[in-house]
Structure 1
Amino acid sequence: MSLFRQIWLAVIASTVIAFAGSFLASMLTARHYLEQQLAIKNNDNAASLALAISQLDKDPVTIELQVAALADSGQYAVVRLTDPDGKTMIEKTSPPLAGNVPDWFVHLFPIPSAPGHAQINNGWNQFATIELVSHSHFAYQELWSGAFKLLGWFTVAGGLMGLLGMQLLRRIKRPLDAVVGQAQAISERRFISIAEPTTPELKSVAGAMNAMVDRLQAMFAEEAARLEQVRREANLDALTGLANRAFFMNQLASALSDDDAAPHGTLLLLRLADLAGINRRAGREMADELLRRVGQALVGIVGENPNAAAARLNGADFALLLPGVPDAARFAEKLLRLLNDLVAAGLIDSERIGHIASSTYLHGHAVGHLLSRLDTALAAAENQSGLAWQQADNQSDQQASSNADWKKLLDGAIRSQRLRLIEFPVAGSGGQLLHLECPLRLQAAEDGEWLAAGSFMPMASRLAMTAELDLAAARLALERIAAGASAVAVNLSGESIIDAAFRARLLALIGSRKELAPRLWLEISEVGVFQHFPAFQAFCDALRPLGCRLGIEHFGRQFSEIGRLHGMGLDYLKVDGSFIRAIDSQSGNQAFLKGLCSIAHNIGLTVIAEGVQTQAELATLPELGFDGATGPAVPRS
């Protein structure tokens, strides 16, 4: 039995006991009062009759008429006249009068009528004694009527007390529900704080719970900070804060091979000329400041382009990866201005400054081929005097389409439902199928090729058309589940979840097939989550009651933000493939990923590795704590 029900029953029981006691006390008091009134009436009327007879002649007829007149009034059960020797002279009795008082009430509250006595004198001598006994039915009727009135008042008062008690219990229950909800959230690894109530006892409980949540959050924050430092040491250049060569090569490989990567992009290389000479002539501090300035400039470019990545490949070489960018001119000119500013600041010898090379690429190109083209272009730039930017020969046959062309293509595909899902297995550490990862495909024209999401989603985002595509993906996923799929995961865009209308339509779509919702996995990329965090939180709050599984994909680059996920009620994380590549041989990333899995498990999250390429990588993942994996190395069942 719930605490609320127990308190409510205790209030009812105490109220009933109090009212029953009050009712019984009132009835007994009223009965005693009526009994006294009957006794007083009997005595008073007996004295009055005795005085009247004492003043009359004592002939039998007159006395009997007086007694009969009193008896015939119907108020007395017995009127008796006895002589001084106790012999009955006259006696008048009448049967009990019928009334509407039930017999059980008469037996429960008897009202005895005490007889009244008075002496009748004849001069100075006693003539006789008169005895009067009143009928009790009038008293019973009055007591019965009073009982009804008292019961009615108690009923009204009980109702009022019940309403008051209900409000009081609700006031008590509200903070108790908050504490229970907080405890339930903690059991689900969601750490939330609640407002402390004004009631001292409840305030102490809520305060203790909040303090525990704060301590847990502090512990996770400390562990997250430690692992963030491990990640930086394993993947970033200590001086500039840019990615190191190994991690950048993983990012480049992902950009060229991942299914949802942009279909094209640009890669730039920047080489500082004569860094060793600058170090020798100006000193190490000056050389380090030069490298930091270049690193800050590249970090600024990456911050303005969320999908971009920058790295320090070695002492003097820097790289900038720009997925989805077909023209490097704007970025190359920005870097050239940076080099000029460094010359003006005296950080670079004006005779030898630096060189830039750029090349476009297509999805599917080989990493080695792309870097070879860039090396050739960089060599050509080095043969020029002063600042130089050299573009590699553009071997891409891709022609950029206008926004109008893309809008027409996307509208046509959506209207004609030229959309489908393809599937890749996501397997657990024991080999069992966790779910099917189902990216969206779009057919450009009737009987045309099917485009990967990376080919059309960037343009859909630019044209604010992601909502319709994401709704179509969710609908296709539900249809696949209804057809027998155990579980299906689809990706939603960050641009979609900030749209309240999209969230409402998605909620209605899933709500209409609520029985399928527990097998639907919805995931948003890390970039979209943290760019639109309040909208993502509203998205999770709305969909969680339906039972959907909610997660983040491509996770890891913003690992320091993991503390913000404590109260989200997420189900899983998919770790970005750039952390997974060659994980069997990278001890630094192994330590980071092992800690990531530990923290994620502590807040109730399943951790899945993306883009697993080799069996060696796959075999290493369970040792690090991963619960599952997806990628080319995961066999299809």
Structure 2
Amino acid sequence: MINHDEGSENLEIQQLAALYARARNGAFATLVLTGVVIVLLWGRVDEAALISWAIASALLEGARIALAARFRDRSRRSEQSARWLSTALAPAAAAGLLWGLPAVYLAGLDSDRALITIFALPVAIMALAGVSYALHRTVHAVHVLFAAAPPVIVLLIQASANAQLAGVALAGLAIMSLYSGQLTARRVRENLALRRATAELEARLHVIHDHIGSAPGVERLISFQTSHDPLTGLINRREFEKRLGSMAGALAEGGRQHAICYLDLDHLEMVNDTCGHGAGDAVLRQVAARLQTLVRGTDVLARMGGDQFAALLTDCNLEDARTVAGKLREAVRNLRFPWEDHVFEVSSSVGIASLDTTTPHFSDALSAAHAACLVAREGGGDRVRTFQAADLEYGHHHHLARWMQKVREAVESSRFQLLVQDIVPIDAGESRERHGELLVRMLDEHGGLVAPHTFLSAAERYNLMPAVDRWVIQHTFEALQNGAEALSSLDLCAINLSGQSLSDPEFLEDVTELLNATTVPAGRFCFEITETAVVENFDSARAFIAALKQRGCRFALDDFGSGMSSYSYLKHLPVDYLKIDGSFVRGMLEDPIDRAVVESINQIGHDLGMKTIAEFVESEEILSALTEIGVDYAQGSLIAEPRPVL
């Protein structure tokens, strides 16, 4: 474990190094200003005193350059930072006082020129201090205070109202200079901390790289790549769960107890939205480096994906785990991330769960820790929560977290089944295309079907829908490419997309790559997007539709009519089909309002040059009514039940 006092010491030394690096330029600027003062005051004040003052200024600046040269000697830099700080403070204070004391002398001249000079000298030196001393807040503060205090006091005790006003103004400028110096020094320290964290991470990655390079054969490299996160160098979710399972298998030995900490960054999306994903990746690397300093060598730290991390604390009870979790949270909260003109503060929510002989399965402990993390986040974030099985709130999140785990495993193991349901033209006399909507069903560990609403709600809750949508698109493309009989008669295959996929910046790239890789014409694909997803992600949806329509793909607006706000958006979306919400179709025979809605949607669609599709067509009577209205296509149990693609 890294010694944090030693880390702070190193930061202090680096900040002093940056200060001393400016010594030569700062001394040169000060000497130039000294020359200007001599020219302006020559003949107006005692010349011997002026020359003595100038010589003192030159000697102090020479001493500063000499100290900087001494500091650059790396053999001396190992001395404690406190010693170097005291060494830097003395000349800074002396230099400030040297520029402040002339005010006492000039006050006796009792002239407007003297008043202006008393005010101008400290203003000029405070401006230079922003260049010469502001890299270290303590050194800068001492220099400014010693330069400003004498003239401020001299001006305030004068009888002249103008002098007193100048004293107040000078005091205000000194306060502003102090504040500006504090901000500059803080930015410098944050940048140095960022460089150090990045260097530590790169050093670890180099060690990992060297270790891989020395391993025999390509198998070791492949093993590392499949078990580690390429961004942070930590192990990934798959490897973490593997080690967690091994650890759980040995729990019976000696009644051992472990704990799991699940950590979720609260506002990383703000960094991504403001500065891009490159900045977000840099934050994740910093967080990973910071967390690694707080876990023991026997513990296991992993990046679970996105902005989530997990730590397996071996031989650790819940009380000790809470202490560790508090340190993890505090470490993240103290992380200030400067990027271009922004400085971000990051916080985290941490959930804790126990892994012992009472835990049915290691995945239960992991999902329990995740559930506690969700409770912490929904409670406002930046807090730690321990899983409580008896609490209904924890139980609800635990249930969702377990399903999240199951959905993730299904994606990784490809445990889904692809179905297709026909969409047919209502007017058989017209030559129209035959469509089919692709549906996805999840299979459990035993091959049984899982109810769609069960796994889809968990996938939506934990932002797993893009992964599910990718699976559907990829396997639909492959089925068409391989001539699947269930799809061979279809002119158009409709694929559902979630709102999460529309807002995922990488999803469009993935779909484009899949289109490039297949020989199936893009015109055979139609992407269905619900009107709710469009309204919530309008700009993303419009850009997504425009990009893929250029490739030849078509689009349908699904469940249209469920939210009437969609009418105002419709004319701005270049979609090809309107799918009338099934709740109106199902009730149109009994409810005249439902029928009026169906007629209205059909008319609007046709006015905008779109074809209309009615969902939930379950009886001949409904089909007859749709024919009378003039709806173009029908889909439902009357037409065809969903059937497996393969």
| TM-score (norm. length: structure 1) | 0.36
| TM-score (norm. length: structure 2) | 0.35
Q: Write 1 or 2 for the structure with the bigger share of helix.
A: 2
Higher relative contact order (CA 8 A, sep 6+): 1
